[in-house]
């Protein structure tokens, strides 16, 4: 048995000595957090870090870490969720974490009642990390309490920019599974997203929020939700003056709305006079992906000669 494995086994043994956490166990979790760091902890590089992360999971630490998420000890709770986040960077560990008894309720507890802002942020980041594996997307997406808790982070005045970004990343990956999109709409994600799009001064958050909006738009339930927040007009405004990423995502969102909402959605999009000119500009000067999205949008809107707009700037 190698030194790393012996070290981890000794720490995990401390976790199982009592039914409730004590100081020795809290110290063991703190040490496991350090060993699980993505950079390998002691400076040995990613390979060392992976060895420790695998050993921590294989030696049986995950059930205790999940249980510690409900601890009233703020430091223990934060160390436990951070260790789980670090462990979840490896696919075999994600399987073990997802199979842990009580995981969903424990993560929900931290999302809702985390004792520190770091614990809440790392809970959102853990949800994102677990969703990297496609089979877990329908599982977590079927938990309305978790979906709503992540969405609520977008609205929370206590959520810092990094927590918001981690929540957006989790929602984006969740929305990659098509059957999760109506559930996200039901959770109120659309007004939460557009509140960010209208009010956030941080370009990266706007970019990420439009990416989520583009995915959520890909279901028939989305049109009413977008309509309720004047979402089409906001997307067209971003198509005109957003960052490069925001323009591409706005075009993708409008395209998905048109595809899923049919003629009704197409008519509503065309009521915004500037949409054709903005999409045509993106075809002319956008990235390859943005040009493709804008071209497809113009096509579904029934606009012809998209590469040669009228010289006087008139709308089609």
For residue 15, tell me if it sits in a domain: yes
pTM: 0.92
Residue 144 lies in a domain: no
HSE of 264, CA atoms in CB hemisphere, 13 A: 9
Q: Within this chain, do residues 121 and 195 fall inside the same structural domain, yes or no? A: no
Residue 28 domain flag:
yes
Q: How far apart are CA 268 and CA 272, in angstroms?
A: 7
Q: What is the CATH number of the domain that holds 205?
A: 1.25.10.10
- Asked whether residue 306 is domain-assigned, the answer is yes
pLDDT digits (tens, 9 = 90+) for 104-160: 999 999 999 999 999 999 999 999 999 999 999 999 999 999 999 999 999 999 899
Is 109 inside any structural domain?
A: yes
**The last residue of a domain, from among 133, 162, 177:** 133
Rg of the chain over Cα atoms, rounded to whole angstroms, equals 23
Confidence of residue 316 (pLDDT cuts 50, 70, 90): very low
Show the domain range for 83.
Answer: 1-133
Same domain, 127 and 212: no
Domain count for the chain: 2
Is 220 inside a domain boundary? yes
CA-closest candidate to residue 218, choices 178, 187, 189? 178
Check whether residue 316 and residue 223 sit in a common domain. yes
Choosing from 100, 118, 133, the residue where a domain stops is 133
In whole angstroms, give the CA distance from residue 262 to residue 143.
Answer: 30
Q: What are the pLDDT digits (tens) for 12-69?
A: 999 887 666 678 899 999 999 999 995 644 444 466 778 999 999 999 999 999 999 9
- The secondary structure element, H or E, covering residue 84 is helix 74-87
Are 192 and 114 part of one and the same domain?
no
**Which of 288-299 are b and which e, b meaning 16 or more Cβ less than 10 Å from the residue's Cβ?**
eebbbbbbbbbe
116 burial (CB, 10 Å; 0-12 / 13-18 / 19+) is middle
């Amino acid at each position: 048995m190698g030194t790393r494995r012996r070290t981890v086994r000794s720490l995990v043994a401390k976790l199982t000595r009592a039914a409730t956490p004590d100081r020795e166990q809290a110290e063991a979790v703190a040490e496991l957090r350090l060993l699980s760091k993505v950079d390998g902890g002691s400076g040995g590089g990613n390979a060392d870090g992976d060895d420790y992360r695998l050993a921590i999971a294989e030696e049986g630490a995950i059930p205790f870490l999940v249980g510690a998420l409900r601890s009233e000890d703020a430091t223990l709770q934060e160390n436990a969720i951070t260790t789980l986040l670090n462990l979840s960077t490896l696919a075999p560990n994600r399987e073990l974490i997802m199979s842990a008894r009580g995981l969903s309720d424990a993560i929900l507890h931290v999302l809702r009642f985390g004792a520190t802002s770091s614990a809440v942020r790392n809970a959102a980041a853990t949800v994102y990390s677990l969703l990297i594996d496609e089979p877990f997307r329908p599982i977590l997406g079927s938990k309305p309490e978790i979906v709503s808790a992540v969405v609520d982070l977008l609205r929370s005045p206590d959520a810092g920019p990094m927590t918001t970004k981690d929540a957006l990343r989790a929602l984006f990956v969740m929305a990659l599974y098509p059957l999760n999109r109506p559930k996200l709409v039901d959770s109120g994600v659309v007004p939460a997203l557009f509140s960010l799009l209208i009010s956030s001064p941080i370009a990266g958050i706007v970019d990420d929020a439009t990416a989520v909006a583009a995915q959520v738009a890909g279901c028939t339930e989305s049109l009413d939700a977008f309509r309720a927040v004047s979402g089409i007009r906001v997307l067209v405004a971003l198509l005109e003056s957003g960052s490069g990423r925001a323009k591409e995502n706005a075009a993708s969102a409008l395209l998905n709305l048109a595809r899923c909402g049919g003629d009704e959605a197409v008519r509503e999009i065309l009521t915004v006079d500037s949409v054709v000119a903005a999409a045509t500009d993106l075809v002319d000067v956008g990235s390859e992906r943005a040009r493709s999205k804008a071209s497809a949008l113009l096509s579904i809107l029934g606009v012809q000669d998209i590469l040669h707009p009228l010289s006087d700037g008139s709308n089609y």
